[in-house]
A and B are shown apart, each in its own frame.
Chain A
C-alpha cells in the first residue's frame, strides 16, 4: 500500500511536470519517469512480465523516439512563451470526459466521499483463488496467444511489417554520389596484378 502510494504519486506529479516543463527534453525525461513508476504499479498488480516489457519497449524504444522527435522539432527554449490558457477549453473538455469515464467504470465503493452500496452483513468466506495452482504471467500469455488468438497474433505481425515498410518508404533518400566500400571486391583483388613493373632501371 505504501509502495502503491509512492509509485502513483510520483507518476502523477511527473505527468504534471511533463506538461509544465519549459524544456521539451526535460518533459521527455519526466515522461520516462512516468513509465518507470507505471511499471512499478504493474509489478504491484502482479503483472511482472508486462512491467518488464513496459520498461524495455516504452523506455528503451519509444522514449528514444520521443527524444528524436523533440530534437528534430528544432525548438529553441526561448521560443516557448506561448499562452498556456489557449489550450484550456479543449484540454478541459477532454479532461472532464476522462473523469466521467473513470466515474462510470469505478465502483462507488472505492471513492470514500460517495455513498456506498456495501451491504453490512459480514459473512465468513474462503478465498478459493488462493487454493488453485496458478500459472505465471508468461505461461498464461504463451498458452493463449499462439493457439487461441493466433489470428490476432498474425495480424500484429502484419502491422509490424506495414510499420517497417512505411518507415523505410517515408525516410529513405538514396544519394548516389556517395562512394562506398565493396568489401568483397577489395578482398578479391589479386595482388600480383596491382603493382606492375613498367621498365627496367
Chain B
C-alpha cells in the first residue's frame, strides 16, 4: 500500500504530540508553584486592558479569498501537466485561455491595489 508512509507519519506525529503534552503533566510540580498570581493573566505587568478576541481588518479576509482563487488555479493545472501529452493542442490552448481569464482578474486586483498593504 502506497499510503503506508503517510500512516507512519500520522502515527509518529500523534505520538509526539501526546508525549509533549503528557510529559508536562508528569513532571510539572503543580503543588508548590501554582500560586494564584502565577496563574493570572498578565500583559507586560499590567492587567489585561481588553479582550483578545477583537475585530480586525477585513483586508486579511481579502488576502485569504485571493489565495483560495489562485490555489484553485494551481489545482487545475496539476492534471493538465500530467496528461499534456495525451490531450493535444486543444487541451493546451484551453488551459491557456483559462489562465488568460484569471490573468485578467490578477491584473485587475493589481491595478486596484488589492495586493498593497498600507
Using a CB–CB distance below 8 Å, which chain A residues touch chain B? Answer: 43, 48-49, 53, 56-57, 60-62, 64-65, 68-69, 71-72, 74-76, 138-139, 141-143, 145-147, 150, 153-154, 156-158, 160-161, 163-165, 167-168, 171-172, 174-175, 178, 180
Cβ < 8 Å to A, chain B residues 63-83:
64-69, 71-73, 75-76, 78-83
Instruction: Give the contacting residue for B64; candidates A65, A154, A164, A165; CB below 8 A.
Output: A65
Is B66 within 8 A of A164, CB to CB? yes
Is A167 within 8 A of B80, CB to CB? no
Q: Which residues of A contact B112 (CB under 8 A)?
A: 168, 172
Is A72 within 8 A of B56, CB to CB? yes
- A147 CA to B88 CA in the complex, in Å? 9
Is A142 within 8 A of B75, CB to CB? no
Instruction: Give the A-B pair count, Cβ closer than 8 A.
Output: 136
Known contacts A61-B68, A139-B79: A172-B102 contact under CB 8 Å: no
- A180 CA to B113 CA in the complex, in Å? 12
What are 29 A-B contacts defined by CB distance under 8 Å? A43-B3, A48-B3, A56-B71, A56-B75, A57-B71, A60-B71, A65-B61, A68-B61, A76-B51, A139-B83, A141-B79, A142-B82, A143-B86, A145-B80, A146-B79, A150-B90, A157-B101, A158-B101, A160-B102, A161-B102, A161-B104, A163-B65, A164-B105, A164-B109, A165-B105, A167-B62, A167-B66, A178-B118, A180-B118
- A139 CA to B82 CA in the complex, in Å? 6
- A161 CA to B104 CA in the complex, in Å? 8
Instruction: Please give the number of chain B residues whose Cβ is less than 8 angstroms from any Cβ of chain A in the complex.
Output: 50
- Mostly, the A contact residues are helix
What 1/0 flags go to B77-102 for Cβ under 8 Å of A? 01111111011101100110110011
